Chains A and B, each alone.
Chain A
Amino acid sequence: GDSVTQMEGPVTLSEEAFLTINCTYTATGYPSLFWYVQYPGEGLQLLLKATKADDKGSNKGFEATYRKETTSFHLEKGSVQVSDSAVYFCALSEQGGKLIFGQGTELSVKP
């Protein structure tokens, strides 16, 4: 069945460092791909999405490109801030159905 694998955390970075969180997926069809973020004490929020191959999703300085050839959707940000500290989840959905999530990657950004 479909699945999502993320790099394990926690990831600890200094402010203004470059961030990459790896995400790869297995799917039988052509899924939509998502990154969700969970800030401390808050619910899951959609960060960005891409619905087809080579699409780039972006929001709040974060980017991810849907790579069908490598079945990947890595999350990147050029310069992280302390306020980016959160847990990040990669997820896929086939035809707008249920989301299948990775296990989450905790990011901690130090001043």
Chain B
Amino acid sequence: GAGVSQSPRYKVAKRGQDVALRCDPISGHVSLFWYQQALGQGPEFLTYFQNEAQLDKSGLPSDRFFAERPEGSVSTLKIQRTQQEDSAVYLCASQGGSYEQYFGPGTRLTVT
């Protein structure tokens, strides 16, 4: 595709529900990043993949957060037992050879 796509664009979850957020990166991009952006703040790093390997997950805030990229293309960020503090915009970015990261539109998660 022409750019990074994410789905769903908006998600409302009740506290305690599990959610799955999908990212389709730019075709051929090896690296994929997930970020969390709280309202009025800059994005914060969550995790990073190179192909299917998760090389850095130091930014995941708790063990309720899990990410995968099994075939080195599409990635899914899963949040188990959602809490109100998980409400944020979740951004995915893919990176090609120039080290420039291209961002998707984000998924706005609201936990009620």
Contact = CB atoms under 8 A, between A and B. Distances in A.
A42 B42 contact: no
A103 B100 contact: no
Given A93-B99, A96-B99, A44 B91 contact: yes
Nearest to B47: A98
A100 B43 CA distance: 8
Given A98-B56, A104-B41, A46 B102 contact: yes
A44 B103 contact: yes
Contacts of A91: 42
B34 to A, nearest CB: 10
B16 interface: no
Contact of B42 (A46, A89, A93): A89
Interface residues of B, number: 23
Contact of B43 (A32, A42, A97, A101): A101
B45 A43 contact: no
B99 A43 contact: no
Contacts of A99: 33, 35, 43, 45, 93, 101
Nearest to B41: A103
Contacts of A83: none
B59 A45 contact: no
Contacts of B43: 44, 89, 99, 101
CB-based closest 3 A-B pairs = A101-B42, A96-B99, A44-B103
Given A51-B99, A103-B42, 18 more contacts: A4-B42, A43-B104, A43-B105, A44-B91, A46-B101, A89-B43, A93-B101, A96-B31, A97-B56, A98-B33, A98-B45, A98-B48, A98-B56, A100-B45, A101-B42, A103-B41, A104-B41, A104-B42
